[in-house]
Amino acid sequence: MEFTEQTRCREMAKSSTFYRSVYSEIEEVGWEHLVKLGEDLTFLSFRILDKKGREHILEIQLKRTYPKCPPSISAHLEKLQEFWSILEDIDKSLWVDDMKASFATSYRQINIGNDSFIMLSINASDPRSLPEIRFLGSGPSVNVMRKTWQKNSKRWKKEKPFLENLASLLETHLPGPPDVLKRDQQVECGICYAQNLPIDDELGNKSGCGTDYTCDNTNCSRAFHSICLGDWLRSITTTRQSFNVLFGNCPYCSEPIAVKINSSKQ
C-alpha cells in the first residue's frame, strides 16, 4: 500500500472515533498486507496467508458503528482449512477445466476427456461429506459413470480422503492435470494395458495403483503393475521363486527381471 494512503488514513483518524479505530486496526494487521482502502475507510481488503501458506484476499465492509460490532476473520480462516485443503488436492491431482478456479468458489469442473466433464460442488461447512455432482456430456462413458455414481453413492465414507472416495464411487481414476498426463503417456501396464489397477479391496494397498515396476533394460524400460507381472511370471515354466521374489525374463526384451510378490499371492 502506498505511503500516501497511510498518510491519508492517519489524517482522517484525527477527526472521529471510527477513523481512529480503523487506523489502529490496520496498524495492527500491517500496512504491507493492505490491498485496497475505500475513500471513507468503510471498505478494506487484506492479503493474508493461512497456516498452510495459501494466499487469500479478505474483503471487509465496516459499519459506522464499528468497533461495537467488529468482524471476525481468523475464526473463519481456521474453520475453512479442511475445505481449502480438499480444493487444493483436487486442483493438484485432477484435470480442473477452469485454470482460474480459486478458493473463493466451492465447485470444480473436472475434465474427464472426450468433451465430457463432471461438476463437483463441495459443502464448505462439511467438506468431507458426499459432494453434489453433475455429469456433463453425451458420450456413453458419461452415462456409465452417472449410473455407477448413483449405484455407489451410499458407499461414501467421510473418514476416507476425498479423492479416494471419489475414485471408489466412480470405480475409476480420473485424469490428472495436462502436464501430468504428458509425463505419464507411456505408463500403461505392458500386460493388462491399463494405467491403473481396478478399485478392489482384494488388491489391498495395490487397489487403484498405477504401474510400479519398470524393466531395468534402458532400451526397453517397459512399465508394469507388479501384480500383473507376477501373475504372468507364474504362468511361465522357467520362472524361479526364492521366498517372495520371482525371477524370470521381461516379456518384451527377455532381459532378467526380479519381482517381489505378496505372500498371499504365492
Residue 264's pLDDT is: 47
CATH class of the domain whose range is 186-265: alpha beta
Q: What pLDDT score does 71 carry?
A: 62
Closest C-alpha among 103, 93, 145, 111 to residue 127: 103
Q: Which residues, in sequence order, are bridge partners of residue 46?
A: 34, 58
264 within 8 A of 258, measured Cβ to Cβ: no
Domain spanning 81-170: CATH superfamily: RWD domain-like (3.10.110.20)
Q: Which helix (H) or strand (E) holds 136?
A: strand 132-136
Domains 3-71 and 186-265 share a fold: no
Please tell me the pTM assigned to this model: 0.52
Burial 17-38 (b: 16+ CB within 10 A, else e): ebbebbbebbeeeeeeebeebe
* CATH superfamily to which 3-71 belongs: Ubiquitin Conjugating Enzyme (3.10.110.10)
pLDDT of residue 207: 80
Per domain, the residue ranges of the chain are 3-71, 81-170, 186-265
pLDDT score at 12: 72
Taking a C-beta distance cutoff of 8 angstroms, is the pair 122, 94 a contact?
A: no
Series of mean pLDDT values for 10-residue runs along the chain (266 residues): 65 72 82 83 82 79 74 67 91 81 86 83 94 86 89 94 93 78 64 87 81 84 90 92 90 90 55
